[in-house]
Amino acid sequence: MNTLRNKVQLIGNLGNDPEIINLESGKTLAKFAIATNESYKNAQGEKITDTQWHNIVAWGKTAEIVEKYITKGKEVAIEGKLTTRSWEDKEGIKRYTTEVVCSELLMLGK
């Protein structure tokens, strides 16, 4: 049951080509965002689509697969865990971001 404590599964489309970073340590990092869509009808019967954007990071072999095969618009299934990190911007203000650290990636569609 511990594996269910912090687990995220998403299916969505990439909004842009992934950003690939090759670190001095030799590790590869891929950063990208995917959009998920949920549709429903409002009180007037109109179809409403709600789009949510999710920041994804992938490391190592997964990042290398992202670099070779994943581009803007591609549909992917992601499994990973939520992480939150913080940093200080140029003005010294503490900023936060929440990301999904990808452990499994499945390419969908064509």
| pLDDT tens digits along 16-69 | 999 999 999 999 999 999 999 999 999 999 999 999 999 999 999 999 999 999
- Indicate which CATH number applies to the domain containing 72: 2.40.50.140
Whether residue 58 is contained in a domain is answered as yes
pLDDT of amino acid 9: 96
Whether residue 44 is contained in a domain is answered as no
pLDDT of amino acid 68: 94
pLDDT of amino acid 77: 97
Whether residue 43 is contained in a domain is answered as no
Whether residue 71 is contained in a domain is answered as yes
d(CA 33, CA 46): 28
Task: Indicate the number of domains in the chain.
Answer: 1
Partner residues linked to 97 by β-bridges: 85
- The number of angstroms, rounded, from the C-alpha of 35 to the middle of its chain's C-alpha atoms is 8
Determine contact, residues 13/73, Cβ cutoff 8 Å: yes
pLDDT of amino acid 3: 67
Residue-range definition of the domain harbouring residue 97: 2-38+49-107
Q: Mean pLDDT over all residues of the chain? A: 93
Whether residue 15 is contained in a domain is answered as yes
Whether residue 101 is contained in a domain is answered as yes
